[in-house]
Each structure stands twice: as structure tokens, then as C-alpha cells.
Structure 1
Amino acid sequence: MRISVMSVMVNDQARALKFYTEVLGFVLKVDVPVGAGGERWLTVVAPDALEGTQILLEPLGFPPARVYQKALFDAGIPAASFGVDDCQAEHDRMVKLGVTFKTPPTAMGPVTVAVFEDTCGNLIQMAQMM
């Protein structure tokens, strides 16, 4: 077993694609229309792992998903965690791009983490292993 696709529910797929590619640096992997409402099977991958795990930018078409996403956000719980080589450098770069951070880089034993908003209804954690 291995993870091939993981979902991040987003309230706007176009805005999510822009943020996840232009700000976070992922690259578009798959963009296929699905359904009559304009939804897409929209995935991105890390630029150094084009055949690696895909992140599905999943539309919030299922009403309970909206409640769940908001509950996570309101509780300060990240929807996903992404690894970085240098948490402070990524934080500084992203702040210059206007990203809102809920938690600045914080050392927690063998890991440094920061939490930011993805502009699509989620908190995302980035983590640097020491």
C-alpha cells in the first residue's frame, strides 16, 4: 500500500490551483472536467516528484463537507501537513507573497512547524524535520 492521491477540500478550485501552484510551488498534474457543475478532477504534485503523491483539490460539493471544513478551520486544525526543508525560509517567502499565517515557525522537539491559510477555507501545516 502507498498513498497515490490525498484530498484537500477547497471552496474554489480555480483559486486553489493558483495558490497551490503559484505560492506553494506544486505543479499541475491532472485537470479533467467532471460533473455538470463545472467541477474538475484537479490534482497537483511536488515538482521534484512528478510521479509521487497527488493532492486532489476537491470541490466542496457535499454539504456536510462544508461543515467539516469550517469546523476544522475554526478549531485551528490543519487539513493537511506538507514537508519543507527550511520552515523559516518558506515562512518568510510566503509572507512576502501575502500569505496569512496562524502560527509562525515554532520548534516542537525534532520538528519545526508553521500553520497558514490556503485562501480556500483550510489551514495547512508545513513541517521541517530536524
Structure 2
Amino acid sequence: MTTKENFSAGSQQRTSESLLKDIRRNTKRIFTSEQKVLIVMEGIRGEQSIAELCRKYGISDSTYYKWNKEFIEAGKARLDGDIVREATSDEVKELRQENIRLKEALADLVVRYDVVRPLQNPI
């Protein structure tokens, strides 16, 4: 193999390696909060090592530990009462019914306005 052939083969290999790195970098997975909780809970159970768990889900150790820290801090904040609880299903149901009533009242007022307005300003 000549020097020129050796050089081009080496540069081609470097190019393919950089291409693979770019592909890996651009195919970053986005995990939902539910997925993160499941992964952290799996790590807390301790059935697998953290390294095995991270390989299984294709995340780095530092990502797992960051999620774990966020999970623990959120749990502490909730237990301390720092986080306001969201509406219950009954509250949501009541708010939806009130929303419907208000929309109907607004529609009624708009219809009345459209009827009265031409009478007040005859052409």
C-alpha cells in the first residue's frame, strides 16, 4: 500500500468515526418524566447495578444521578408542603361545568347584543 493510499484510508476512517459521533450526538433520546421516574425507581430497587441500568436505557451515569437527585428533591419538597397540590378530579369536574355555564352565558349576551345593537343605531 502506498503512502497516498494509506493516508486516504486513514482519513476515510476518521471521517466515518466523526460521522458516527455526529449521528450519536444528534439522536439524543428525550425521556418523559414518567420514564425518568421508572428508571430512577428501578435503580433504587437495586436489582441491577447503576452501570447496567444506564447501559440498558442508553444514558450516562451522570444523567441517572441527576435524575435521581431531582426525584429525591421533588419528593422532599412535596412532603414539606412546598409544592401546591393540583386540583382533584372533583374540582376539575366542577371547573369544567362552570366553564360550560360561563360560555353559554357569554353566547346568550352576544346574541342579545347583536339583536339590540341594530335597533339602537338605525341606518
Q: Shorter-chain TM-score: which interval?
A: under 0.3
More relative contact order, 1 or 2 (CA 8 Å, 6+ apart): 1
Structure number with the higher helix fraction is 2
Q: TM-score, normalised by structure 1?
A: 0.22
Return the index of the structure with the highest Cα Rg.
Answer: 2
